[in-house]
Amino acid sequence: MSENKIYKPKQISGFPEWLPEYRAVELAWMDKIRAVFERYGFCSIETPSVEEVDALLAKGGETEKEIYTLTRLHADDHDKDSRLALHFDLTVPLARYVAQHCNDLVFPFKRYQIQKSWRGERPQKGRFREFYQCDIDVVNVDGLPLHFDAELPAVMFEAYQSLDIPPVEMHISNRKIIIGYLQGLGVKDIPFVTRELDKIDKIGVDKTRLILAMHFELEAQELSSRERLDLAQKCLDIVQIQFADNGFVEKVRTLGVANDLLDEGLKELSFVMDNLKHLPQGSVIADLGIIRGLDYYTGTVIEVRFKDKPLSIGGGGRYDNLAGAFINQKLPGIGVSIGLTRLFAMLLDEGYIKPVAKCPTQILVVLPAEERRAEAAATAHSLRLRGVNVELYHSATKVKKQMSYAEKKGIPYVWFPPFEDGQPHEVKNMATGEQVQADPSVWKI
RNA sequence: GCGGCUGUAGCUCAGCGGUAGAGCGCCUGGUUGUGGUCCAGGAUGUCGUGGGUUCGAUCCCCAUCAGUCGCCCCA
């Protein structure tokens, strides 16, 4: 860049940033979420933004994530940092962390983690390349009581409720149900079928039925085309079951599939639903169409949405063997995650989030004149001693301009030190316009 | 990685083959120590970038970059 050429600022797609009056709201949300997490005894950890690529891929399996790797600008061909990459979620770092500090952690290990993650996917509405996730997970050695499967959704629900947002719905299922059911039906390629069933909302029922039927044909199962369609229909039947109570069990029974894993899943989901009865009616739905793409979920799966909106704003589930790729020990866990950035951006876009003051300043101390600077500074200092957020205007410009500054930044009070010797201090409430005499050594908001 | 749409003042956008406008915002003033309203002035743009057609392009063509929506996948 030459000196008379400026770099034109531009926004980088998928990397959101907010103005101060909105960032303050986001921060407040994090505080509220954090408070709920801590109320249930979760402790905080922070892991590095980067992990080794091998660590990130250890659990990924077939689906390769869009991972951002690190390189130095001046790296040579043998750059060692290229083995590092930004984490794409907080679960894999947790697995590595738990495996690494296994001996120093107390189990069941309950931790929360509010950090950014990065994914190199094409950004679009509600999808970012850099975003905050608020995770809570419980990891244990050996078994993990099923009660956690109910507690975590409850904690997450309470966190959502602590925010000023439209009501959310938690859709809960158990992977054992769909897997067991498909096994019972004799379906061979279960990963493919579940992936298609997961997309049913987008693709539509009829199209999904055809895709499945076609797939069964390719699998060369000894079925007539009529039977293939019936089988596809059977697959569709289960994922369309939704109940606000345990009615789903009976409904599944009427489909007439017998399988041990299916029974286990039904039992677990019933247990979870029973233990979430204290939540508001209609906010928890046993939704057997919830499958979730992540490979490591093995039991309970959760997805959170606003009513009437398909986009997920949070989710999670149980994994029987979280850290298996890092340690020779079985560590089951369950975790849920609030998609803070997606949630926030969505509501911001809809104009639902109202901006707050552009700064935390509570009082602006006016600088009446250059000769009064020492006194104005002392006034500001005195007010700060009582925990008030005070800003001192550093230029002895027109009072009009100083007040306009306070107005624009949303500062609620303006303090006037004496303009001449012997005069009293005064403070003005910008909202009401009321102005009274005050003593900076005792005044409080 | 692939496809559709878009790219003009800080923001939202209008415009036209002959080198540009509105609204909002911003700055100044409406006198001597007081904001929000009102009034009067004012500043601002290599018209995304690079080529091409043309006497001449911001407007036409090509490329490129960026944004955006969708596919894939997912919070």
Per residue in A30-51, pLDDT tens? 999 999 999 999 999 999 999 9
pLDDT at A82 exceeding the cut of 80: no
Nearest nucleotide to A297, CA against C1' atoms: B74
A416/B27 CA-to-C1' distance in Å: 26
In this prediction, residue A323 carries a pLDDT of 81
- Cβ of A430 near strand B (distance < 7 A): yes
Distance CA(A29)–CA(A132), nearest Å, equals 12
Nearest nucleotide to A305, CA against C1' atoms: B75
In this prediction, residue A100 carries a pLDDT of 93
Tokens, residue A297: 């979920």
Residue A94 in contact with residue A113, Cβ under 8 Å?
Answer: yes
Residues 6+ away with beta carbon under 8 Å from A54: A83
Q: What is the mean pLDDT of residues A3-14?
A: 66
A134/B48 CA-to-C1' distance in Å: 37
Protein-covered nucleotides on strand B (Cβ within 7 A): 1-3, 26, 28-29, 33-36, 46, 48, 66-75
- Cβ of A208 near strand B (distance < 7 A): no
Is the confidence metric ipTM above 0.95 for this complex?
no
List strands edge to edge, sheet with A435-438: A390-392, A363-365, A413-416, A425-429, A435-438
Residue A147 in contact with residue A268, Cβ under 8 Å?
Answer: no
CA A119: distance to chain centroid? 14
A97/B12 CA-to-C1' distance in Å: 48
Q: How confident is the model at residue A391 (pLDDT cuts 50, 70, 90)?
A: very high
Tokens, residue A29: 């949300």
Q: What kind and span of H or E run contains A412?
A: none
Q: What is the mean pLDDT of residues A389-399?
A: 93
